[in-house]
Structure 1
Amino acid sequence: MSQKLRSLGYEVASGPGDGNSEKCLAAVIHEKADPELELTASLIPDHKVIVLCENRSFDFRIKAARLGVSALVQHPVDLIELEGWFSDFDRDQQVEPKVLIVDDDDIVAEAYAFALQQKGMRAETLSNPLKTGQMVEDFCPDLIVMDLDMPEANGLDVARALRLSRPHLSLPILFLSAEQDEDIQHQARQIGGDDFITKPVDLATLTNKISIRVSRARDLRNIMERDSLTGLLNHVNFKERLAAEVGRSRRTGSPIAVCLLDLDHFKAVNDTFGHQVGDRVIQMFANCLTGSLRSVDVIARYGGEEFGLILLDATPEQGARVLDGIRRSFSNFLFDTDDGPQSVTFSGGVCGLEDASTTEGLLGAADKALYEAKQKGRNRIVLHSQLEQR
């Protein structure tokens, strides 16, 4: 097991005293080594804990849940499932939960924001509800705390307007109001309000509710938006994110690099070594990308062995240089097969806003550059601008 996890790019410590526990992503404990879950219970306050178990009873699951176990993985262990949990934990560590507070009372909003920041969340406030749509696009919150009673537009109208956009259909909204009318509260829930809290509200209660809602919302969004094998964004959500980033880039004037990558001769890997090995190669490549790029960059499994990237605040030339370094490093990675260690390379195409004016145009430009990289012999990165110069 340790060897397999190392092959996916993880550092593995063999015991509680081995390694730096402060940097531990998760503790993995076999049920047979801790049948009463005593060691598990001792680790839970400071670590995510995954229990590998053969016990399939629901009573055991209840016991594990009460202790606060993060995940149960059944024997025989599915490495893809286990790695999926690690990816989720890693993503949660790297990205702060973000909460947008929309309230025309600046003092109240700042008090809420301060309380959330003390809980380790990033909070932004907005006093003008008419700017909510733009703020959501720019800030990308995990949850909105919305005052119901505001002069420019009430919270119900703002929520309805947000729900008209497909990417915002699942965005959690928590309404705050002194309103006691049950019909109003019912309307709030009908348009997707996840909770309705009556003012005045205790800050500790509010922050606890928000923390729970944000955590659950992120888990559900990961399931809906992400590829099950790699944990990366899926095709549909990558294109939606690209559209949002293109709009933001045009407003701010900041550059972006759009990249399409393709594993070279991947069909031969599947045909020669089997699809399980192919899945491991895809996971290894996904881990290589996430480990090499910044947490703000957007990485997706575009389809099959093809991946899409959006490198923020980077020109196509800068993006190409970064990807070329990753290409050289990845070509040295080895994966195990029955025929011994093997390596795989990848090709890439890169473009920027100067190459196309639409989302589809950018993807087409990156794909054209990728095609050129393959035609030139693969294992290389090609800029779309280089094609135009010929």
Structure 2
Amino acid sequence: DYIRGALSENLDKDSSSQLESAEALFKSLGSIDYSLEVSDNLKDSDILIVDDNKTNCEVLERRLSLQGLTCRTAYDGNTAIEEVTKKNPDLILLDVILPDINGLELLKIFREKHTSDELPVIMVSAFNDVDSIAKCIQLGAQDYLPKPLNGTILLAKVISSLERKFFREREQELVNELHIQATTDQLTGIYNRRVIFDSLEKAYNDLDLGKIKGFSVLTLDIDFFKNVNDTYGHGGGDEVLKSFAGNLNELITEPNVVGRIGGEEFLAILMETDLQKVTKLCDNLRQEVTSKVIDYEGNKIKVTFSGGVSNTNESRNASDLVNKADERLYDAKKSGRDRIVLSN
């Protein structure tokens, strides 16, 4: 009404029509429902309130607790740092004026270790000018609340920050799940064929760049695996595969890589070309696998495996290197199985 009265004498017909249209639009929206509720996903979220005024802390804690949120308080900057060190809160309400460290400096300290997604911060201050707000946002605050606080705006901004954090975390969980699905063999939990051959290509690139001196390829195949499936069913076969993969994963550790490339076939990339060291690893692996008894539905299952080894001293071609290892694997099977052939 004030703006309309002040400008009414200078408004032309078009401007007056636009103003009336705007008023009609707001009226058509009806009354606004200011009631806000915290969703079940966000209840019990941990809020750290940092303010040197105990009354302010009590008021904020009471308002937020009524919404099912858990609150902690810190009356100075050093206590706030201690609280964050104990456990990262889901959100910090941070006053600018504190007795020891001012809120802006404290925000800088938090941002040295935590991103705004990991540790959201809403700055609270009586300074409501554009420069102050811009400075807080520039230093990494997610939002800004001017004093005196409006209860509805407070809750709206708290909910907004918590929702953003929740959905970012959920998004990251989904990304991690997709990554696991794309890189892991579903049955055994070790790397799949794609990762192994990508790793083989990377190893050759590192060799060409001089980052490594060489590496070996070890191909492995469980002996008489078809008999295991025929005798104990596919469930028994799955248990054997998981047990064998577990042994490989325990003994073939980083920087080496091991994975299942299909059926009962496995392939490992060993960052070593010394035959004595490779032989020792293979002997340890054979001893571990052959001594293990796999329990399945009251049955005791024992298996052996055969393997073949080649290394980059023999070939600088990935396919050729794998083929050489496969040829030696077949030689091991022809020679009676339960052995690893390292050279012709």
Under a length normalisation based on structure 2, what TM-score does the superposition of the two structures give? 0.50
Q: Which structure would you say has the larger Rg?
A: 2
Under a length normalisation based on structure 1, what TM-score does the superposition of the two structures give? 0.44
